[in-house]
Structure 1
Amino acid sequence: MQIVLLACVVGAFAGMAVTVLSNAAHLLHNYLFSLPVDVRLSGLLQLSNPTDAAIPVVGGALMGLSIWLLKRYRNRSLVDPIEANALLGGRLSIGDTLIVAGQTMLSNGFGASVGLEAAYTQTGSGFASRLARAFNLRRNDVRTLVGCGAAGAIAAAFDAPLTGAFYGFELIIGVYSLANVAPVLAASVSASLMATQLGAEQFPIEIGMMPPLTPHQYLPFLLLGLIAGLGSVGIMQLVTLVERAFLAARLHPAVRPVFGGAIVGLLALLSPQVLSSGHGAMHLFLTNHFAFWTVLAVFSLKLLASAVSLGSGFRGGLFFASLFLGVLLGNMFATVMNVISPATGIHTTMAAVIGMTSLAVGVVGGPLTMTFLALESTRDLAITGVVLAAAVVSSIVVRSTFGYSFSTWRFHLRGETIRSANDIGWMRNLTVRSMMRTDVRTVPADMPIDDFRAQFPLGSAQRVIAVDAEGRYAGMILVPDAHTTSPDISDPTVKPLLRHTETVLVQPMNAKAAAAVFEKAKAEELPVVDGLKTRKVVGLLTEAHLIRRYSEELEKAHRDLSGDS
């Protein structure tokens, strides 16, 4: 019950945070771009003044200044909710939360082609993590509450509680279980109600009525899911290529956003729909019919603007951009299909919804998250089945050809191996240092075998470690070998008995890496040294103890997931 009550508090805070952040961004847009009444920034058909194209450049300069200050005074990577839940047991710092939210607001507010969802989820999750630690909750409860913060933020932003809940399950917690369903749903509903009560400018995706779905349309829509999956892989690769191009240009990290802002500003002169998240532009393309070449041009420009914004160093994400690009992709798909096969009768809006969810699944992840977004947007249960089928096709394509969502792909580029928010931090915490024995008995490597037998009679020990004259590891001696092997006349010392002379463990190794060393060496016990160069023996670890400790931690993790404390 405690976790559910805390989840309600977290959800209410997330709703308030989304209200404040969204209103602040809208005020920035109104002030900087002189927007007409009731028009979103990306809903403009042309910029109010050509000089407005310079506003992203100013934003880039401010973003560059923040990057320079962070590198000077805080030279470490910022942690987001997925990384916190995967590696750190849900621990998020308030400092990281404020920095991510501030940089995202700055990027979006000055027109960079990024969404605010990163600021929303970071703020909700950061507050949740701090609250959970204040109440001294268990590791898995902290992770669940972090998921509640992100779920509440998405629910409040889209007025879609089920979408927010499954965002928390699939992307932040990494698993759906009976133990976390109540708190996550409570946070989502609380956040959505709070945002509505405060008059937040939520962005429900308004679709309207659509014609009935016919059986012969399933195959074309599955083809759209396949195309969206391949397209999402291309989008993620494009962002990486742009980032590498900025690196190859040898520009200082603080200068890159200025150049990125200049490119975005030039693209905005061609089409203001590239600016900011794309809420206004999505509404424009869902409620109006545009020519195929117009849609293709906006798709290309928005894709380039998003890639340049992220690749040059602006802070934000591809959540809403992928939804908008998916709408455009579905729109183009319907036009082409109705030319190739008019009998299929592909409805443009229906194709836009399926393209939206399929592309977003490939980029962001979470097939059920995007399926519920379609359901809560359309209120049409009939279309939900084909949306889920196309989303699954897209997800399979991305997993089999690429293997990452955009968030986890960014971790991969940093050298991390995270593929989801599933908790692998406990495995990294289970290090050789925490499992080794320190009562190690050593002997000189040139000790006469007769002296060794006298000092270690049968039954006194199983293994003894030999060290050289400088105290470095030389090998391991099995006591039974010393008593059953005849001394070598040419070398009556224990040197001929040494085993595993080159195989050692180091203290920072985690359980998985240590198990691989044991498997390769075919050893039951190995020494632990202080470093691969110094090779000073500091402990001993047996394979049996390693397996037992790993099994205990694995069982504990399973109990946490099932809610059995």
Structure 2
Amino acid sequence: MADAVPSDSADQTGGADLTSGSPTPASRLIPLIAPAILTGIGASLALIAISSVAGRLENLLWEIIPSGLGIDGFNPWWILLILTVTGVAVGLTVWKAPGHAGPDPATTGLVDPPVSPFLLPGLIVATVLALAGGVSLGPENPITMINIALAYWIGRRFMPSTGPVLWVALAAAGTIGALFGTPIAAALILSEMPGPGALWDRLFAPLISAVTGSLTTLLLVGNDFVIKVPGYPGTRFVDLLWALLVGAAGALLGLAAVYAFPLVHRTFRQIPHPVLMLTVGGLVLGALGAIGGELTLFKGLDQVKELALDYTHYGFWELAGMAVLKMVALLIAAGSGFRGGRIFPAVFAGVALGFAVNALIPSVPPALAVVCAILGILLAITRQGWLSLFTAAVIVPDLALLPLLCVAALPAWLIVTGRPEMLIEPADAEPAPTPA
């Protein structure tokens, strides 16, 4: 997540003085209600539209065409072919699309300043191709970037006195609310963003956007974020120890990926052409997918549910291998220039790691192992405490696990704090290959 959003000297909220430390009266917040509602609905509809198109293309690539050819859609050779072709297609998009389909994804966070609408068509195409082609990245980063750009571009035309802060907050909150199916995630994430003034004055309009975004998604497509895990039997003293150890193990796995990320990014940047760079990335992802199978492909949300239903059929080494392979696939996908987010693949890796712990030590409740592993990995990957804690709690919604999650967060945070983030600073990134 970006540390700061560009500021304008003019009032950036269309009447709500969010840049002042003085209390904001209700009369200044009320005019923000309508823009917040419209932004939340628009953010949700954009997410649904892009996900729907990607889903239809995914069905074509992995079900309809293989069925017509009389082959298994997840045959290792088909996986290798589709991921390689996806790399070629995304590479061509990055090469030829206006604005090269957005900035290098290795340099962007979940919430960043608005980009020009000029580059959105290429970003949308690249995102749809990656989601449908089985690339191990989620939709959250590019869709948030798209919604922020659209909200800022449209909003400034109807409220010309506003600056980026309002529209970044509204679009980010609406998108996060739509992604998680609840406004709580957006409120927690935005509460970590710096800013003067009363916290709830700053959250007022974004929370409305998050509510409308989440409600729109729930009403139109429902919420599929929860996985079915055997219920937690109740707190035991030994579970405190397991929470500490599993949370730390997740943080170490995530931190290993963080340290490897700059090397992977630099390696792919040595390839002199974006089409070749992404083709090689797709080829490597195809090989990883052929090794790991269907469960290790795509963003990971649907695959997490399948794994939760069948995890007892796998041994420790198979589950641990899935966790590591998914993290490697995330590194390759993000480092080679595919457009997408890192949260959903990291969640899959955490779930696989948690089930691996349960397979190795059956006395560790699977629900406890899964949520603590997710928490540790996300803390390392995102460096967002509230987001990591909330995501783990939502995946396995059991209030009895919350105190143990807080315990698990302590050693995990000590491991990741002060370490590098999984983000390449634009000043440190070599220019993307963009031949004429």
Q: CA deviation at 1:284?
A: 2.0
Residue 123 of structure 2 aligns to a residue whose secondary structure is helix
TM-score between the two structures when normalised by the length of structure 2: 0.80
Name which of structure 1's ranges 111-120 and 319-328 shifts more when overlaid on structure 2. Answer: 111-120
Superimposed CA distance per residue, residues 410-431 of structure 1 (whole angstroms, 9 cap, x where no aligned partner): 547439xxxxxxxxxxxxxxxx
Q: Which runs of 5+ in 2 are unaligned?
A: 1-29, 66-71, 431-436
Residue equivalent to 1:55: 82
Matches within 5 A, 1:526-545: none
Residue equivalent to 1:100: 123
Aligned partners of 1:144 and 1:173 also within 8 Å: no
Q: Is residue 392 of structure 2 the alignment partner of residue 374 of structure 1?
A: yes
Query: Could you tell me which of 14, 33, 36 is aligned with 2:43?
Result: 14
Q: Is residue 250 of structure 2 the alignment partner of residue 228 of structure 1?
A: yes
Aligned partners of 2:177 and 2:185 also within 8 Å: yes
Q: CA deviation at 1:245?
A: 2.4
Matches within 5 A, 1:131-150: 131-134=154-157, 135-139=159-163, 142-150=164-172
Change (3 A) 1:245 1:272: same
Query: Could you tell me which of 317, 335, 341 is aligned with 1:311?
Result: 335
Q: CA deviation at 1:388?
A: 2.9
Number of aligned residues: 389
Query: Could you tell me which of 258, 278, 282 is aligned with 2:304?
Result: 282
- In 2, the alpha carbon distance for the partners of 1:170 and 1:216 equals 32
Aligned partners of 2:170 and 2:206 also within 8 Å: yes
Residue 105 of structure 1 aligns to a residue whose secondary structure is helix
Q: CA deviation at 1:170?
A: 3.3
Change (3 A) 1:227 1:119: same
Q: CA deviation at 1:33?
A: 0.6
Aligned partners of 1:326 and 1:352 also within 8 Å: yes
Matches within 5 A, 1:45-444: 47=74, 50-70=77-97, 74=99, 78=103, 90-134=113-157, 135-139=159-163, 142-170=164-192, 177-199=199-221, 202-208=223-229, 209-248=231-270, 250-270=271-291, 271-288=293-310, 289=312, 290-338=314-362, 345-400=363-418, 402-404=419-421, 406=422, 408-411=423-426, 413-414=428-429
Residue equivalent to 2:20: none
Change (3 A) 1:326 1:123: same
- In 1, the alpha carbon distance for the partners of 2:103 and 2:361 equals 44
TM-score between the two structures when normalised by the length of structure 1: 0.63
Instruction: Identify, as 1 or 2, the structure richer in strand.
Output: 1
- In 2, the alpha carbon distance for the partners of 1:151 and 1:197 equals 18
Aligned partners of 1:29 and 1:35 also within 8 Å: no
Mark the structure with the bigger radius of gyration: 1
Q: Which amino acid aligns with 2:138?
A: G
Change (3 A) 1:51 1:67: same
Aligned partners of 2:80 and 2:290 also within 8 Å: yes
Aligned partners of 1:104 and 1:116 also within 8 Å: yes
Q: Which amino acid aligns with 2:320?
A: L
Higher relative contact order (Cα pairs below 8 Å, separated by 6+ residues): 2
Change (3 A) 1:237 1:11: same
Aligned partners of 1:84 and 1:91 also within 8 Å: no
Aligned partners of 1:121 and 1:151 also within 8 Å: no
Q: CA deviation at 1:92?
A: 3.2
Change (3 A) 1:105 1:46: closer
Aligned partners of 2:136 and 2:297 also within 8 Å: yes
Q: Which runs of 4+ in 1 moved over 6 A?
A: 79-86, 171-176
Superimposed CA distance per residue, residues 348-381 of structure 1 (whole angstroms, 9 cap, x where no aligned partner): 2221112112211210132112222333343322
Aligned partners of 2:93 and 2:100 also within 8 Å: no
Aligned partners of 1:121 and 1:150 also within 8 Å: yes
Residue 12 of structure 1 aligns to a residue whose secondary structure is helix
- In 2, the alpha carbon distance for the partners of 1:137 and 1:21 equals 31
Q: Which amino acid aligns with 2:349?
A: L
Identity %: 22
Change (3 A) 1:307 1:291: same
Residue 361 of structure 1 aligns to a residue whose secondary structure is helix
Q: Which amino acid aligns with 1:252?
A: H
What is the RMSD computed on CA atoms of the aligned residues? 3.1
Q: CA deviation at 1:234?
A: 1.0
Q: CA deviation at 1:246?
A: 2.6
Q: CA deviation at 1:258?
A: 0.8
Aligned partners of 1:92 and 1:130 also within 8 Å: no
- In 2, the alpha carbon distance for the partners of 1:398 and 1:262 equals 32
Q: CA deviation at 1:180?
A: 1.8
- In 2, the alpha carbon distance for the partners of 1:172 and 1:118 equals 20
Q: Which amino acid aligns with 1:18?
A: L
Superimposed CA distance per residue, residues 263-305 of structure 1 (whole angstroms, 9 cap, x where no aligned partner): 2222222212222101222112222222111112222322222
Change (3 A) 1:24 1:235: same
Q: Which amino acid aligns with 1:129?
A: Y
